[in-house]
Amino acid sequence: MSGGDNPVEGPRDDDPKDDGEGGNQPENPFAAMFGGAGPEQFAQMLQGIASAMTNPGSGPVNWDLARQTARQAVSAAGDSSVLDRDKREVADAIRLADVWLDDATALPSGCNKVEAWSRAEWVEATLSTWARLCDPVVAKLADNMAGVIPEEMRQTAGPMLGMVRQMGGVMFGSQVGQAVGALAGEVLSASDIGLPLAPAGTAALLPANVAAFGEGLGVRADDVRLYLALREAAHQRLFVHAPWLPARLLGAVEEYAKGIEVDTSRLESIVGQIDLSDPEALQRALSEGIFDGGETADTPAQRAALRRLETLLALVEGWVDHVVTEATGGRMPAATPLAEAVRRRRATGGPAERTLAALVGLELRPRRMREAAALWARLTETRGVDGRDTLWAHPDLLPDADDLENPDTFVSGSSGLDGFSDLSQLGWDEEGDGGDGPPETP
């Protein structure tokens, strides 16, 4: 379900062409859906599909199968249990990160719960959000599929049309499960892809993936963990104390997905050649990608949604970059190479881009994050930490895409803040715990 290229005005923040990696990602990450599975895992997948066909569930995606497929993919790739030592180290890192961030931001801690997750636990914790993001586009594709079947075929096919939809839900469930399972092997934290996938206030790191990220960087494992904990804790401060933000981020993805328009000519061509009374013909059609829906075309509404999403993500990630830089200044010499490692990881088309492109037809590359970070730095200089962070109280106070291109007017203007002297006037708790008490440790 690749959405193809979605150009957005303005320069790309980090061009991966010079990095020597990540530039040749396959357009369809499901092309070799079962290629990495051994005989035992493949047999388990087949058993899961058979069970899903017997118990299809409701909705356009069979999420029971998606969960099972993701768990099997994680198991096949290797997933170790999180040790008590890992839990203590993550809890200590998040606790220290919050202390450091108190000096860099006026937003109080948002870490009401601290977790150290295995890859399978990340799947379980985030799958409901993936369902929210994926269901709209899959439903749209299923409707397009039903719409291109000629009326005379609908009248004669009978129950076979129900089987088509059922098999579609199974195939989508398998595809989504494979993608989420692969992503579980890469993500570093609950907020790693910039979207609030986990429950609000839950700060989580994946120790195995954190260790893999730190390999070859020449940085102590404790510093790697602390730096990623700082980023995670900073994200949680935004997600918890700007309560409109998670809904706005996920809503932009949903809006984009719902606006997908499918070129039905390919579907019509395939459907015209199918004998709906022949299960083998249906199977061959599925293997050819009939439920991928053909080519998709961006609409003006989609382009507007994409622009809003990319601007908001840039503001979030730019703010996180800036406050983590402020928090680590003079405290962590390793922060500079770690920040560069994170930048390169984003620039080479990381997990967010590949997974969103696969699941909701949205190609998302990091754009304007440096401009956003520079804007937040200038706002800190001109308005102070409180004046900068007060902008997160309402989406209408934030810079927009034009402000990132021409920041001078925004930095020097009032931006709607006249009359607000401190965060308490905007309903924020300045005591530091967001009203929920200290974070819960594993």
The residue with greater pLDDT, 16 or 305, is 305
pLDDT digits (tens, 9 = 90+) for 227-246: 999 999 999 999 999 999 99
CA-based angle 380:381:383, to the nearest 5?
65
- Any domain includes 432: no
- Any domain includes 173: yes
Query: Among 32-41, 243-252, 341-350, whose mean pLDDT is lowest?
Result: 32-41
Indicate the Cα dihedral angle 425, 430, 434, 436, nearest 10°.
-120
- Any domain includes 90: yes
Predicted confidence band at 380 (pLDDT cuts at 50, 70, 90)? very high
CB 241 within 8 A of CB 434: yes
The residue with greater pLDDT, 297 or 66, is 66
Query: What Å distances lie between residue 119 and 183, 211, 219, 291, CA to CA?
Result: 9, 13, 23, 28
Model confidence at 171: pLDDT above 60: yes
Query: Among 20-29, 208-217, 307-316, 319-328, whose mean pLDDT is lowest?
Result: 20-29
The residue with greater pLDDT, 285 or 251, is 251
Predicted confidence band at 413 (pLDDT cuts at 50, 70, 90)? confident
Whether the predicted model's global pTM rises above the 0.85 cut: no
pLDDT of residue 205: 98
Average confidence (pLDDT) over 317-331: 96
Whole-angstrom Cα Rg for the chain: 23
List beta partners, residue 296. Answer: 262
Query: What Å distances lie between residue 282 and 111, 167, 172, 227, CA to CA?
Result: 49, 9, 15, 51
- Any domain includes 17: no
- Any domain includes 345: yes
pLDDT of residue 431: 39
pLDDT digits (tens, 9 = 90+) for 25-74: 333 333 333 334 444 544 444 444 444 444 555 567 889 999 999 999 99
- Any domain includes 79: yes
Write out the two tokens for 144.
């397009």
Model confidence at 288: pLDDT above 50: no
pLDDT of residue 354: 72
Range of the domain at 361: 37-425
CB 206 within 8 A of CB 117: yes
Average confidence (pLDDT) over 193-220: 94
pLDDT digits (tens, 9 = 90+) for 93-152: 999 999 999 999 999 999 999 999 999 999 999 999 999 888 887 777 766 666 656 666
- Any domain includes 23: no
- Any domain includes 237: yes
pLDDT digits (tens, 9 = 90+) for 256-278: 877 776 666 655 665 555 555 56
How far apart are alpha carbons 185 and 180 in whole angstroms?
A: 9
Counting residues of the chain whose pLDDT is more than 90, the rounded percentage is 45
Look at the chain and report how many structural domains it folds into.
Answer: 1
Counting residues of the chain whose pLDDT is more than 70, the rounded percentage is 63
